[in-house]
Every structure is written in structure tokens, then in C-alpha cells.
């Protein structure tokens, strides 16, 4: 999935923390990864709203690893 997203220059959006290991430990290239760290009871609508707000605030294309939480975001 990560390689396909990289080839197509797409941002990978996931709930799976294993992508962090691929990006940071194994140094796989990527065009951007957004990892959701929300409580299990969070609805899809809540996550979509948080993602829309985050993406709207970016002045440039995303090529970083981002962790989105109910409190905000962290980029690396």
C-alpha cells in the first residue's frame, strides 16, 4: 500500500500504527501518511472533519508523516 501510494504521489490515510514503523524504522519512502489516533468510539464523520480541517490549513502539499488526534496534529 505504501509503495503504491508513493508511486501515485498519494497521501495514505490510516488507523494502522504499523505504517509508522515502515516509514521511520524501515525508512520506506512515501508521499505523505496521515495516522488517526482517535478513541475507538470516534465516528467516521469526526475523523473526516478533523482531516478536512487539517488539510485546509496546509499551505503546501503534504509529504510528511502526520498523526491526527482529537487535540490536533503532529508532523514529522
CA–CA separation, 27 and 76 (whole Å): 13
The DSSP element (H or E) to which 75 belongs, if any, is strand 72-75
DSSP string, 30-73: -S-EEEE---TT--HHHHHHHHHHHHHT-SS---SEEEEETTEE
pLDDT digits (tens, 9 = 90+) for 9-42: 999 999 999 999 999 999 999 999 999 999 999 9
pLDDT for the residue 23: 94
Percentage of the chain modeled with pLDDT above 90: 79
> Who wins on pLDDT, 28 or 55?
28
Residue where the block lists cell 516509514: 23
Read off the pLDDT of each residue in 42-67 and give the average, rounded to a whole number: 89
pLDDT for the residue 20: 92
Instruction: Enter the pTM of the model.
Output: 0.86
Cβ neighbourhood burial of 38 (10 Å; 0-12, 13-18, 19+): middle
Amino acid at each position: 500500500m505504501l509503495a503504491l501510494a508513493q508511486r501515485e504521489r498519494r497521501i495514505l490515510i490510516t488507523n494502522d500504527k504499523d505504517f509508522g514503523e515502515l516509514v521511520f524504522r524501515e525508512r520506506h519512502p512515501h508521499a505523505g501518511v496521515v495516522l488517526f489516533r482517535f478513541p475507538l468510539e470516534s465516528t467516521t464523520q469526526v475523523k473526516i472533519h478533523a482531516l478536512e480541517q487539517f488539510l485546509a490549513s496546509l499551505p503546501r502539499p503534504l509529504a510528511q508523516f502526520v498523526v491526527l488526534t482529537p487535540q490536533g496534529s503532529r508532523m514529522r
